[in-house]
Amino acid sequence: SQTTSSDATGLGLIRFAAHGERRFRRLTIAFVLGEETGLTGVRALVEDRGDRLGWVIDLMGGIGTISWNAIGFDGVHVEFRTEPKHSLYGGVSEVSEAIARFVTAVHAEVPPSVGPEPSGALEGISGPVTVRRINQINAGEVFNHSPQLGTVGVDVRSTDPQLLRELGAATRALAESIAAEVGVAVTCVDDVQQPAALLPGGADHPLVQAAARAVREVGGALVLRPWSSSNINVAYAAGLEGIVHDDPGRGGGRGTADEWTDISAVLSGFAADCRLLQLVSA
């Protein structure tokens, strides 16, 4: 449903560009693979002809959601270590104590996170989006022994490169401080890493404005979202500007016998994309 929605939209745009008004000096319509496996397709596209690309619009089919900014990842894998001991020796389990304190401290300073998706007016939603949360905890193998090793996985994300760096550094410093307090060793290892990027102008960028107008003109339900994690990340990293247009409701059941596509939403999205091309080339 998702892949075919994108394919149908791209094929339609080729026909639109070939038979419609020729307003572009150059229009590249690319079908890329590998978004879920490292953005490999768009990386190849940017490496091959990044210097010939202008604004980039990542089309996923459907209509309504306009996204910008690239949310970056700083995965922090924290390892607390000490010598294990039997429960009969009493006291606390140091690694477990360090984990408990670290989790409590991280949760006490959670930054503003991704809330309900804003919609309607463009004003006041172009600021950075930042998230820090703990998703992975592991320690202990024997019922009556304190663990020698305990690990905590912290998922740090932000659309602002500076905030991402600062929050990642603060997370590592917090782990080191707590380890020193408890008396255990600690190592912080990089996990998943992805750069962050902000679209210049945010909601006021001409692409965002034109896309919002196009969606409204064809009667779509507009959702404006100042964060994205998609092919557009690679374009930002290459110094290009762009947005994403998609619709989470364009289909479902991907990879199953019950997979389905909302044909009307795909057609409406195609109409909006054609109107968007007209607006940005005017």
Per-residue pLDDT of the chain (282 residues; tens, 9 = 90+): 567 788 889 999 999 988 876 677 788 999 998 877 778 999 999 999 989 999 999 998 889 999 999 999 999 999 999 999 899 888 899 999 999 999 999 998 866 555 444 444 444 455 678 889 999 999 999 999 999 999 999 999 999 999 999 999 999 999 999 999 999 999 999 998 989 999 999 999 999 999 999 999 999 999 999 988 889 999 999 999 999 998 877 778 877 888 888 889 999 999 999 999 999 987
pLDDT at position 182:
97
CA 109, 111, 113, 119 torsion-angle sign: positive
Using DSSP bridges, classify how beta strands 130-139 and 149-158 pair: parallel, antiparallel or unpaired: antiparallel
pLDDT at position 116:
43
Do residues 194 and 73 make contact, with C-beta atoms less than 8 angstroms apart?
A: yes
Which residues fall within 8 angstroms of residue 245, CB to CB, at 6 or more apart? 57, 58, 59, 60, 63, 65, 66, 67, 211, 215, 269, 272, 273, 276
Q: Tell me 197's DSSP state.
A: B
pLDDT at position 259:
83
pLDDT at position 119:
46
pLDDT at position 22:
64
Q: Looking at the whole model, is its pTM more than 0.85?
A: no
pLDDT at position 24:
74
